[in-house]
Structure 1
Amino acid sequence: MIDVTTTPTSRRRSSARAGRVIAGVGVVILVLVVCVWVPGIVGTAAAAVLPWWGLALAILVALALVLARRVTLVLLAPILVWALAMLPSAPGLAAGAPAQSTPLEIVSQNVRAHSGGAAASAAELADMSADVIALTELDGDSLEAARETLAAAYPHSYAIGTVAVWSRYPIADAQALTLGLDWKRALRVVVNAPDGDLAVYVMHAASVRPGVQQERDTMLSGIADAVASDSAESIVVVGDFNAASADPALSAVRSRLDWVRPTDGTLGLTWPAALPLARIDHVFVRGLTVLESTTARVGNSDHLATVTTLAR
C-alpha cells in the first residue's frame, strides 16, 4: 500500500497550510508592532511588549525555514518594522572619559512603598560608591530608614512626596515639582559636582492602568517642558517613568534630552525585578557624556536600579 500522507502532493499541501498560518501570525505581529506609534493606551501597551515580538518573529522564521521556506520573505516586513520600532531603544556604546574630567555616578531605584526594603536598597547602592542616589516610591517609614542609612556618607539630601535624592556633594536650589498634578512627585536640585554644577531631576510618574494614564502623560509632558526651559548647562533626569522605552508618551522628553542607552549590551529592562520584561526606569541627560549605563539588583524592590556614570 502507498502511504498517501507522505506523497509529494500531501507534503506540498501541508507546507502550504503551515505557510498560511505563519504568514497570518506575521501579519498580526506587524499590526501589533505598528501600534507602538499610536498615542495613548494603545501605544503604551504595544511599547511594553515590543521587545518580545522580536522573539516571536525569530520563532516564526525558524518555523518557516523548516516548514515553508517561501514564507520567510513575507516575514521580512514585520522584521524590518520591528527593528525600526526598536532602534531608539537599542543598546549603546560606552564613551571614553573626557580629559581631566571627574566621573560622577548616579544611581536610581523605585524601592516599592511599604516593602520595608528601602534601607537595604540604600545601603547596597551606597556600597557601589555612587555619588548621587535617587529613590522613588518612598513612604514615610522607608524615607526615614533611607535617611538613617545614608546620613553619614551622603550628608546632602532633599526629599518631597515619594521622591528623594542624596549626594556626596553639596546641594543647592532644591525645588519640589508637581509637573501638572495637584501633588508633588518630582524634584529638582543642583549638585555642586567637582566639574561644575549639575541639575538633577528625580521623578516618580503616576501609574498606568487600563483607561487611566492621563496623569502619567501629564507628568511626562511636564518634565519635558521643565527641562526645555531649564538654563542649566548639564542636566540629568532619573526615576520611574512608568513608560516603556518605546512608549510614544516619552517622545516629548526624548526630543529635549538624550535617552541614556544601556552600555552593557542589554536592553536595560528594569521591571519586574524577578524577570524584567520592560524598561520603565530611565535616565535622560543633556550636556553630559555617558561613560557607562547598566542595571543592578539591589534590596527587595520589584524594580532593578539604574546605574549611570557620567562626565562633563
Structure 2
Amino acid sequence: MPRLRSDLGIVLLSVVIAAVVVLAQIPGVAGTIGAATLPWAGFLLVPLVLLALLRRSWSSLAAPVALVLWAVALAPVLPAVLSSPPDADGTPVTFASQNVEARSGTSAESARTLAGLDSDVIALTEMDASARAEAAEALATSHPYTYTAGTVGLWSVYPLSNTEGLTLGLSWKRALRADVAAPGGRVRVYVVHAASVRPGQQAGRDSMLSNLADLIDADDSPRLVAMGDFNAATTDPALKGVRRNLSEPRSTGLSFGFTWPARFPLVRIDHIFERGLTVLETRVAKAGSSDHRAVLATFDD
C-alpha cells in the first residue's frame, strides 16, 4: 500500500505540473491564470523528484517528463544564474519602469528613487493629473526631457523626439511612443499601461497587446524598448505577439523578478522588452508606496 501511494503521488504531481503547463498555452483567461501559476508549480518538483528517487519504479518516469515540460515552458523567464554579463564597451544606459498606482500619492517618491538608482530613462504608468504633476516636479532637474500621454509618461536625461500618444485600440491613451537620443544612437521606446484583467474582463488588455504587437512588427527600428505595466506574465499567450520580435532580459539575480503585489510579489506583470541592445543587468526594486515594484534594465550603449 505505501508503494501504491508513492506511485499515485508521483503520477498526481506530474499530472498537476503538466496541466499547468498546458493551461499556460491557452489564449484567454486560462492562459493568464496558467502563466501566473507556472513558476510556482516548480515547488511541486521538489516532492516529485524526492518521491521518484525513493520509489524508482515505472511511475518515476513521469518525474523527468514533468520537469522537462515545466523547464521548457518557463524557459523565457528562468534566471540567468549560469551566465555572466558582458563587459561594457560603450555607455551603460538604464531604463526603468513602474506602475505608480494612481491616487496613491507615490509618484514623486517613486520618481526620485528611480532617479537615485541611476535610471537614465524612466517610464511611469497609471498616473492621474496629480501624479503626473508630482513626478514632473521631482524629475524636472535630473530628467529634463519628458513626454506624457493619458496615464503614462516618459522622462529622460537624453533628448526625446517623434513623441506620440497611443490608444492601442481603446478610446483613451494608455501608451506612448518616442525616440530617445541615447549615446550609442536612437532607441525607439514604447511605454504601455495595459488594461486591467478581471474575471471575465480581459478583452481590453488582449486587444491592446495585440495592437502593440502589430505596431512593433511594422516598426523597423533596429534598437527598440517596450516597457511598462502589461498586466500579463511573460509567458502569457497574450504576449506572444510582443515576444515575436522582442525579448525580455533574463533576471541577473536568483529570482524570477516578480513585481506585483509589491509587499509580497507573486507574478511579474511589469516588463522591459528589447531588441538590438546588449543587456548588462536587470533587477527589480521597491520604489515609493505603489502596489507594483519597479523593473530596471541596464544596456551597453
Q: So what's the TM-score if we normalise by structure 2?
A: 0.94
Larger radius of gyration: 1
Number of the residue aligned with 2:142: 153
2:38 counterpart of 1:50: yes
Q: Cα distance, 1:20 vs. partner?
A: 1.6
Q: Cα distance, 1:76 vs. partner?
A: 2.2
Write the letter of the residue equivalent to 1:84: V
DSSP-derived class of the 1:30 partner: helix
2:36 counterpart of 1:41: no
2:8 counterpart of 1:23: no
DSSP-derived class of the 1:223 partner: helix
1:112 to 95, 101, 108: 101
Number of the residue aligned with 1:96: 86
The answer to whether the Cα contact below 8 Å between 1:260 and 1:282 also exists between their aligned partners in 2 is no
Q: Cα distance, 1:63 vs. partner?
A: 4.5
Number of the residue aligned with 1:221: 210
Change (3 A) 1:89 1:144: same
DSSP-derived class of the 1:180 partner: coil
CA distance in 1, matches of 2:138, 2:84: 31
Write the letter of the residue equivalent to 2:268: R
Q: What fraction of aligned residue pairs are identical, expressed as a percent?
A: 48
2:298 counterpart of 1:272: no
Number of the residue aligned with 1:72: 60
The answer to whether the Cα contact below 8 Å between 2:86 and 2:280 also exists between their aligned partners in 1 is yes
Write the letter of the residue equivalent to 2:4: A
Alignment of 1:121-270 (within 5 A): 121-270=110-259
CA distance in 2, matches of 1:54, 1:145: 41
Where structure 1 has 5 or more consecutive residues not aligned to the other structure, the ranges are: 1-12
The answer to whether the Cα contact below 8 Å between 1:179 and 1:186 also exists between their aligned partners in 2 is yes
The superposition leaves residues 82-127 of structure 1 with CA deviations (integer Å, 9 ceiling, x where unpaired) of 111111221234542453x211111110111111111111111111
The answer to whether the Cα contact below 8 Å between 1:30 and 1:81 also exists between their aligned partners in 2 is yes
CA distance in 2, matches of 1:196, 1:133: 18
Write the letter of the residue equivalent to 1:153: S
Change (3 A) 1:23 1:47: same
The answer to whether the Cα contact below 8 Å between 1:169 and 1:192 also exists between their aligned partners in 2 is yes
Write the letter of the residue equivalent to 1:27: V
Q: How many residues align?
A: 298
DSSP-derived class of the 1:157 partner: strand
- Deviation above 6 Å: which 4+ runs of structure 1? none
Q: Cα distance, 1:69 vs. partner?
A: 4.5
Write the letter of the residue equivalent to 2:14: G
